[in-house]
Chain A
Amino acid sequence: MIPAKFDYHKATSVKEAIALSQELGEEAKYMSGGHSLLPMMKLRFATPEHIIDISKIGGLSYIKEEGNLLKIGAMTTQTDLEHSDLLISSYPIFGDAVWLTADPSVRNFGTIGGNIAHGDAANDQPAVMLALRATIVAEGADGEKSIPIDEFFHGFYMTALEPGDILTEIQIPKAKKNSGGAYYKMERKVGDYATAGVAVHIELDDAGVCQEIGIGLTNVSAVPMRLDRGEEVLRGQKVTDELIEQVGQIASEDCEPESDLRGSEAYKRSIVNTITKRMINKALERARN
């Protein structure tokens, strides 16, 4: 439980961090909260030669609405998300997800940017981002770029971020009237990764017809997964119990879980079905109120 030898570098600005990364090359890893990276280093599953500590970079911790966007700074901690009045009142899906992420001491350090940039389908924020159709803003040696969430996750621990890129901001379409989201995961005990989790965000028109829907799945595939086929069933429709039933069924068919200590493949498919239905209903309830 002791990491291999590494050198520690502290960056005080995004520019400095990128420059350090350029200089140190591929054996350098950024660390913000460190709560995903450090355990891997302690087990010596990850042995970076250089750690670039970006946790002291100022100005990247904020939650604000600007124009038609909700903007969240990448260094915003999970605890900040949990206690944000704006998120509590207008984006309750964050409260659902953060409450189920790790434990309070981890949430005090863990950041939303790190949770997404780690590229782990077991993390909770990727599914939430899929449901909310987020855009990821990153800065690299060649300047700033915006990456739609559907193009962000490439594989197991692999994302669209190039070596040296730093995730700086998450942008989410501002909450519309008659919209609502919800997240739930089954976990074996507090602090555990999801056995399976489902994030749903739904937008209704005044007649109650579904204008837009996002459904993201946690830890039932190698890459954070959008339930495209399920979304298509509801988009443009008046949401009925029959349709919800159908989406649950699709979720259980389309997810790609593997049997492990958290449960069998069949079990995971079954609870994805159940949670999907329950979260659509919860999101609908929030959208209607």
Chain B
Amino acid sequence: MFSCKTSPEVGGMGHSVKRKEDARFLHGKGNYTDDVKLPGMLSMVMVRSPYAYAKIKSINKEKALAIDGVLAVITGEDLAQYNLHWMPTLLSDSQMVLPTDTIMHQSQEVCAVVATDRYIAVDGAEAVEVEYEPMQAIVDPFKSLDEDAPLLRPDKEGQKDNHIYHWERGDREKTDAAIANADVVVKERIHLPRIHVASIETCGVVASYDKDTQKMLIYLTSQAPHAIRTILALVAGHVGLSEEKIRIIAPDIGGGFGGKVPVYPGYVIAIAASFLIGKPVKWIEDRSENLVNGFARDYHMDCELAATKDGKIQAFKVSTLADHGYTDSSANPSKYPTGMFSICTGSYDYDNAFAELDAVYTNKAPGGVAYRCSFRVTEAVHAIERMVDKLAAEIGKDPALLRLENFIKKDQFPYASPLGWSYDSGDYEATLRKAMDMLGYDDYKKEQAKKRAEGKLMGIGLCTFTEVVGAGPSKDFDILGIAMFDSAEIRVHPTGKALARFGTKSQGQGHETTYAQILAEELGIPYTDIEIDEGDTDTAPYGLGTYASRSTPTAGAAAAIAARKLRDKGKKIAAHLLEVSEEDIEWEVGKYFVKGAPEKSKTIQDVAFAAYTNFPPGMEPGFEATHYYDPPNLTFPNGAYICVVEVDEETGAIDVKRFVAIDDCGNIINPMIVEGQVHGGLTQGIAPAMYEGIEYDDEGNVLNGTLMDYLVPTAVESPHWETGHTITPSPHHPLGAKGVAESPTVGAPPAIANAIIDALYPLGIKHLDIPITPAKVWEAIQEAKAKA
């Protein structure tokens, strides 16, 4: 286990110090984008399409413009004059800012109304008259490739059908042969439906263009302000917005989860409106707008898992159809269109694997937000973990035992996975055994046997996942060519207090505390003496932002290395102050001392003061350091989750009795923050497993576009989460840390699904897609009974 090197007052790694940012949040003093109020600020509201696929015959602005206070109605035609009606996506596709002729998904922005306040803007939006010619939408991705399907993207040169791309990895022939020759093959089509991040704060922007200075100041709900500034300069450079004139400030953010990585049309329109009008323009999504944009998942995965008759896994194959909506807007900075989906071989040691994927267009909102996971890891983990449980059930073997027998062993790391990743470290067996002990696995197996004999439905489900986070090494990642490093810049003031700035951006993760703790660990300066600043592109060093559990793996590493650069400089200063040679100086947390004479010492604060007042001749004054960290590899957090459920056969109601989550995220900076992250992530894991999923009708209408029907679970729906840790440090990260935020969101859904399906197994039910609701369970039971 990890032991603290620093005192609680210094508060370095391993201390559960309270979050420094919480006082202002708890007192209602957070400063979010919608809190920004600038003199003369205008409000912008969208008119959105009621249809999923339609021609726009006309847009009549007159009645809206007649309302006192409505200043402008901006259409696609208006933006087309500046060539701003389309924008590129991160994956080389294109997305409409505003349409000039065709609507591609329900609730798509049709035009924007700018008014003196929001109330008037909403009235203005109601008064805009749009004439549509509806067309039959393509909703089912499997029908998108039919010969008679309409070509959804005729605007794209060379596009002959609705196929976007094909991707594959692994050895198809070897894998097919292994499957053909295997004793046992289990197959399943698994769907992970569209879900929505539903962050408490919706998306929004305040754009303020100053015609005199030609500076564009933008307050933005962005997880990646620097990258967005660069993209904006590339997209709008032709109208005069060059990068040095753009300042993006991401103020406090109320939850991101990936939904605040993309550029939304509303951002671009507000920026364009402010540029043209010369006044600040605010656009804030309302809840319903937020719920119909920015979707994650939507993979249909045909899986095959092959094994010997006693359960040694031999091969895994997965062929996926991906529904991207009308454009591939995946917020994915990897070099692979499917992100890290190839982690799908899981925590198990076998040679043969093949994954392929075809992506198609449909009349749905742009898909591809990586909802609290590193670009398709949730899909990948769900596929392998469902299949492993299915294999265990098929051959009648305990799913825990099957996993233990197939795990990659502790001494096999670094482990080259069959689809090309190099897993850094782990002790999967220890992690699973700890989870089994904490649960009392054997007792529950006995109880289950007893309950089954009484005709009761009880299930135990496991998930032993391997995550891949910390994007990432420049060989695998970039955004428009920009490598996925991240940065830290430390200034230690003469009084020994410090300010540190980062290229990342917290959305609730607690960076103001954990970064300070990293620096406290490395420098011995108390974490309370260190201010953390992020999110302002004019002041923070360039970085790629916070998502994919990357902040600790990248910026956290940068902080450690920058601090070590400072320590090296400090050593020279200490030697100067103590009048010994540098070689005679040793470091222990917070202090330099003379080798063999520990009473002769200088604190880090003494040294900081001297850096400004009494530095060695010839040395550059000041006590500052910066580091940009390009990670050599990703980190591979892992965990073992076990869920116990009981199902009411009459109503389908599901009662989660126990949920044990053991995570291995390497060395831990703040155990309390990690536990909070795990609790939140597990709740966002039970969400798609049992509650959330966007439903469409045949016309492409979203049926559950409000929080009344889009079921975000609350504390009431959450079981008592029982959490714990094993610690296997990452060998390549300067702090041995790995990142944790996404593990629970990735690991919980298959554990819950496996538990429910295990409960229903005696009735002959062998698979259910998530979300598994009581109604779905009941229908499955009726179907199974009809068959029997």
Contact = CB atoms under 8 A, between A and B. Distances in A.
A275 B119 CA distance: 46
Contacts of A195: 774-775
B708 A270 contact: no
B123 A189 contact: no
A4 B123 contact: yes
Contact of A270 (B695, B714, B717, B778): B778
A189 B779 CA distance: 19
Contact of B779 (A2, A191, A267): A267
A67 B785 CA distance: 54
Interface string A98-111: 00000100000000
A192 B288 contact: no
Contact of B711 (A189, A193, A271, A275): A189
A263 B119 contact: no
A190 B703 contact: no
B778 A263 contact: yes
Given A2-B122, A271-B651, A274-B651, A264 B775 contact: yes
A108 B708 CA distance: 19
B655 to A, nearest CB: 13
Contact of A267 (B287, B703, B704, B775): B775
A189 B651 contact: no
In this complex, the member of B287, B708, B717 whose beta carbon has the largest number of chain A beta carbons within 10 angstroms is B708
A211 B196 CA distance: 52
B773 A188 contact: yes
A218 to B, nearest CB: 15
A20 interface: no
A1 interface: yes
B714 A189 contact: yes
Interface in A254-280: 261-264, 266-267, 270-271, 274-275
A23 to B, nearest CB: 26
Interface string A147-186: 0000000000000000000000000000000000000001
Contacts of A262: 775
Classify the secondary structure of B's interface with A: loop
In this complex, the member of A5, A43, A186, A192 whose beta carbon has the largest number of chain B beta carbons within 10 angstroms is A186
Interface in B748-785: 773-775, 778-779, 782
A210 to B, nearest CB: 24
B768 to A, nearest CB: 15
B119 A2 contact: yes
In this complex, the member of B123, B288, B711 whose beta carbon has the largest number of chain A beta carbons within 10 angstroms is B711
B56 interface: no
Nearest to B288: A1
Nearest to B45: A2
Interface string A189-205: 11111010000000000
B9 interface: no
Contacts of B653: 186
A197 to B, nearest CB: 12
Interface string A112-130: 0000000000000000000
B48 to A, nearest CB: 13
B118 interface: yes
Contacts of B703: 261
Interface in B394-416: none
B286 interface: yes
Nearest to A268: B775
Interface string A1-22: 1101100000000000000000
Contacts of A274: 650-651
Contact of A5 (B123, B717, B778, B779): B123
B244 interface: no
A186 B704 contact: no
A4 B122 CA distance: 9
B117 to A, nearest CB: 10
A275 B711 CA distance: 23
Nearest to A189: B711
A275 to B, nearest CB: 8
A192 B711 contact: yes
A264 B775 CA distance: 8
Interface string B265-308: 00000000000000000000011100000000000000000000
In this complex, the member of B119, B704, B716, B775 whose beta carbon has the largest number of chain A beta carbons within 10 angstroms is B775
In this complex, the member of A103, A267, A274 whose beta carbon has the largest number of chain B beta carbons within 10 angstroms is A267
Nearest to A1: B286
B691 interface: yes
A226 B711 CA distance: 30
Contacts of A267: 652, 775, 778-779
Contacts of A266: 782
**Chain A residues touching B, range:** 20 to 34
A189 B775 contact: no
Classify the secondary structure of A's interface with B: loop
A219 to B, nearest CB: 13
A62 B552 CA distance: 57
A103 B715 CA distance: 12
B709 interface: yes
B724 interface: no
A188 B122 contact: no
A270 B651 CA distance: 8
A261 B774 contact: no
A190 B651 CA distance: 17
A188 B691 contact: yes
A195 B652 CA distance: 12
A64 B706 CA distance: 39
Contacts of A192: 708, 711
Nearest to B285: A1
B286 A263 contact: no
Nearest to B715: A190
Contacts of B652: 267
Contact of B651 (A44, A186, A188, A193): A186
A5 to B, nearest CB: 7
Given A189-B714, A190-B717, A1 B774 contact: no
A172 B714 CA distance: 35
B713 interface: yes
A191 B773 CA distance: 16
B716 A190 contact: yes
A263 B775 contact: yes
Contact of A189 (B122, B650, B691, B782): B691
A188 B773 CA distance: 8
Contacts of B778: 263, 267, 270-271
Contacts of A1: 286-288
A4 B704 CA distance: 23
Interface in B706-738: 708-709, 711-714, 716-717
B716 A189 contact: yes
A262 B774 CA distance: 9
A247 to B, nearest CB: 15
Contacts of A2: 118-119, 122, 286
A189 B126 CA distance: 33
Contacts of B286: 1-2
B704 A189 contact: no
Contacts of A263: 774-775, 778
A103 B712 CA distance: 14
B195 to A, nearest CB: 15
Interface of B: 118-119, 122-123, 126, 286-288, 650-653, 691, 695, 703-704, 708-709, 711-714, 716-717, 773-775, 778-779, 782
10 contacts: A4-B126, A44-B126, A103-B714, A189-B711, A189-B717, A195-B775, A261-B703, A262-B775, A267-B778, A271-B651
Given A190-B716, A267-B778, 10 more contacts: A1-B287, A2-B286, A4-B126, A5-B123, A103-B714, A188-B711, A191-B714, A261-B703, A262-B775, A274-B651
What 5 pairs across the A-B complex have the smallest Cβ distances?
A: A263-B775, A190-B716, A1-B286, A274-B650, A2-B122
